[in-house]
Amino acid sequence: CERYPVRRLPFARLAERDVAFFERLMPGRVVTGEEVEPFNVDWLKSVRGCSQLVLKPQTTAEVSQVLRYCYERNLAVNPQGGNTGLVGGSVPVFDEIILSTALMNQIISFEKVSGILVCQAGCVLERLNKYLEEQGFIMPLDLGAKGSCHIGGNVATNAGGLRLLRYGSLRGTVLGLEVVLADGSALDCLTSLRKDNTGYDLKQLFIGSEGTLGVITAVSILCPQKPKAVNVAFLGCQSFAKVLETFTTCRAMLGEILSAYEFMDEKCMELVERHLKLPSPVADSPFYVLIETSGSNSTHDEEKLNNFLEQAMSSGLVTDGTVATDDKKIKASHLRERITEALTHDGYVYKYDISLPVGKLYDLVTDMRARLGQGAKNVVGYGHLGDGNLHLNVTAESYSHSLLDAIEPFVYEWTARYSGSISAEHGLGFKKRQFIQYSKPRQAVVLMQQFKAMLDPKGILNPYKTLPSAP
């Protein structure tokens, strides 16, 4: 924590009587001793807490009882889903009790006419998607971590991912939430209505609040029909300007069937080939583009995609391209999903998740490369171009203070200069909370702190996260 100085707040310390209470409340679902260790470490293995207790409730009533008890005792609590976060938001900083949603994995209902799914917060995203596919629907979001992330954590972090271009953000697709507040009171806003203008839309407060305002226990979410036809094109472009032009042409020609437009630079592809032995479907190019279409008529969609490709190739926007058949399709989309994994094989990774005006998106990568020179092993850029979301990653043999000092706060100052966001989809968590001022004015931060004080007066929910320490 020397990089992110933080002092333990005056919460109570866990006592034997507390453990005894929880064991009476949920026998067999209280984890202590060495088995707590995996819950203390984040997915990137970059932050580690020292919790001594993990609780695994199965019902909202149990979450209520846990929080009521912790509130009275002034014990801090760290809500945790699949623990796939990238900003240190899902593991304790000190000895907070970990409240895991792992056993809250029941599907409550699914309505086929409306496509509305109601489920508990601990349902794993991939499992929900499989369940829906059997009914002819899909989840409106798709992430690289889908095999282990929980829908409650997705909502708590307002996760973005690969389908946002087509289906919008969780702020639009989540219809209702059930949330337990810090004092243990349950807030039932689990409506399944698309339209409801009665008063303030309270669920929006909890979407993206990273477990600092309440613990999400159930979600009502609008799911799109499973597209009958999915096509993937993988293209090579000679410059970032061509990537942007291709996007404009693509949007104009593919219209309503365009579901993803992802880009990656040649360094990304090199790392995927070297570390994961996945060959590129397209020969050497400075930039690669992955386009996905989803629609209801395969003949119509393929015709549209082929027309677009012809136009892109003949006008020189694209130098090489392939439309993927089923087998290759999976590999092509996996290439983009697996960049994160390839980076972890390359050494220590400094990860940045930035929103910028699309015209400026890649300039940050170029400037960072020039700035770091030989100090970094690799500087790569990839991301959701359709949403203006860049993933900037810097790798080095091992962690170094001096390298981090060269990256931060430069990366945040650069982003602020172009009115970007320092966190497009990962959240602020523990690692970025002190940098919030680069994206939000002081009045906005003060208002956020007031919301936090009102909903969690003792500050027991996910402390040291999302909002900066008070001066």
Kindly report the CATH number assigned to the domain that includes residue 331. Answer: 3.30.70.2190
Neighbours of 337 (CB within 10 A): 17
- 79 assigned to some structural domain: yes
What is residue 144's predicted lDDT score, i.e. its pLDDT?
83
Kindly report the CATH number assigned to the domain that includes residue 216. Answer: 3.30.465.10
CB crowding 407-443: b at 16 or more within 10 Å, else e: bbeebbebbbeeebbbbbbbbbbbbbbbbbebbeeee
- Last residue in a domain, options 339, 360, 375: 339
Kindly tell me if the per-residue pLDDT of 324 is higher than 80: no
What is residue 283's predicted lDDT score, i.e. its pLDDT?
83
What is residue 148's predicted lDDT score, i.e. its pLDDT?
95
- Last residue in a domain, options 193, 222, 251: 222
Kindly tell me if the per-residue pLDDT of 327 is higher than 80: no
**3-class DSSP state for residue 47?**
coil
CA-to-CA separations, 89 to 165, 358, 359, 458, in angstroms, rounded: 25, 28, 31, 19
Domain identity same for 115 and 79: no
Q: Which of 3-7, 71-75, 186-190 has the lowest mean pLDDT?
A: 3-7
pLDDT digits (tens, 9 = 90+) for 352-383: 999 999 999 999 999 999 999 999 999 999 99
60 closest CA partner among 109, 120, 128: 120
The CA R_g of the chain, rounded to the nearest whole Å, is 23
What is residue 325's predicted lDDT score, i.e. its pLDDT?
61
Kindly report the CATH number assigned to the domain that includes residue 77. Answer: 3.30.43.10
303-309, Cβ contacts within 8 angstroms, sequence gap of 24 or more: 304/253, 304/254, 304/255, 304/257, 305/231, 305/233, 305/254, 307/253, 308/249, 308/250, 308/253, 308/254, 309/233, 309/235
Mean local confidence (pLDDT), 75-93: 96
Range of the domain at 160: 107-222
Domain identity same for 217 and 282: no
Tokens 């895991």 identify what position? 100
Preceding omega of 79 cis (within 30 degrees of 0):
no
- 361 assigned to some structural domain: no
pLDDT digits (tens, 9 = 90+) for 259-276: 999 999 999 999 999 999
- 148 assigned to some structural domain: yes
Give the model's confidence band at 326: pLDDT under 50 very low, under 70 low, under 90 confident, else very high: low
Tokens 């200069």 identify what position? 417
Domain identity same for 117 and 215: yes
Kindly tell me if the per-residue pLDDT of 31 is higher than 60: yes
Domain identity same for 130 and 207: yes
Q: Which of 121-130, 237-246, 279-288, 328-337 has the lowest mean pLDDT?
A: 328-337
Domain identity same for 76 and 119: no
Domain identity same for 234 and 314: yes
Kindly tell me if the per-residue pLDDT of 126 is higher than 70: yes
- 29 assigned to some structural domain: yes
What is residue 23's predicted lDDT score, i.e. its pLDDT?
98
Q: Which residues pair with 111 in a beta bridge?
A: 116
Q: Name 395's Cβ contacts closer than 8 Å, sequence gap at least 6.
A: 343, 346, 347, 348, 349, 350, 376, 377, 378, 380
CA angle 391, 164, 207 (to 5 degrees): 90
**3-class DSSP state for residue 313?**
helix
What is residue 337's predicted lDDT score, i.e. its pLDDT?
80
- 114 assigned to some structural domain: yes
- Last residue in a domain, options 222, 242, 262: 222
Alpha helices in 285-434, H assignment, sequence order: 298-314, 326-337, 339-344, 363-372, 401-407, 410-417
Cα separation, 290 vs 270, whole angstroms: 16
- 159 assigned to some structural domain: yes
Domain identity same for 79 and 162: no
Full-model pTM: 0.93
- 33 assigned to some structural domain: yes
Q: Which of 76-80, 111-115, 180-184, 229-233 has the lowest mean pLDDT?
A: 229-233
Kindly tell me if the per-residue pLDDT of 328 is higher than 70: no
Q: For the chain, how many structural domains are there in total? A: 3
Residues in the chain: 471
Domain identity same for 177 and 164: yes
**3-class DSSP state for residue 64?**
helix
Domain identity same for 152 and 76: no
Domain identity same for 237 and 318: yes
Instruction: Report the chain's mean pLDDT, rounded to a whole number.
Output: 94
Domain identity same for 129 and 207: yes
Kindly tell me if the per-residue pLDDT of 1 is higher than 50: no
Domain identity same for 53 and 97: yes
pLDDT digits (tens, 9 = 90+) for 279-322: 888 888 999 999 999 999 989 999 999 999 999 999 999 999 88
Say if CB 75 and CB 92 are below 8 A apart. Answer: no
**3-class DSSP state for residue 34?**
helix
- 210 assigned to some structural domain: yes
Kindly tell me if the per-residue pLDDT of 2 is higher than 90: no
Residue 328 or 252, more confident: 252
Give the model's confidence band at 54: pLDDT under 50 very low, under 70 low, under 90 confident, else very high: very high
